[in-house]
Amino acid sequence: METKYLAIEEAFRFIHECEQRDVFIYGVERFICNGGVSMPDLDDVAGFSSLSSQEVEKSIASARSFLALYGRENQECFKIVIRKS
């Protein structure tokens, strides 16, 4: 499952919810969202599918570390891919 476009604060809240529900995060994608147009930033994609799906804590920590690199641009948005329950 993939989220809608999330502002960085929403993305951090979503990751917190995943942690509370023990949900594995497969990856995080960064986009530049401007005037209804979303352009993927192909250099800023983090994938965690190489982790075992039992390594929920590592996927959560990795997603947080990835997001911590960003948040300085107003036009940033993110999509988070999770394991569907």
In a domain, 26, yes or no: yes
In a domain, 3, yes or no: no
pLDDT tens-digit map of 25-59? 999 999 998 888 889 888 889 999 999 989 999 99
In a domain, 2, yes or no: no
pLDDT tens-digit map of 52-83? 989 999 999 999 999 999 988 789 999 999 98
In this structure, which long-range contacts are made by residues 58-62, counting pairs with CB atoms below 8 Å and at least 24 apart in sequence? 59/24, 59/25, 59/26, 60/15, 60/18, 60/19, 60/25, 62/25
Mean pLDDT for 1-24 is 96
Predicted TM-score (pTM) of the model is: 0.91
In a domain, 30, yes or no: yes
In a domain, 22, yes or no: yes
* Number of domains within the chain: 1
Domain carrying residue 67: 8-82
Confidence band of 85 (pLDDT split at 50, 70, 90): low
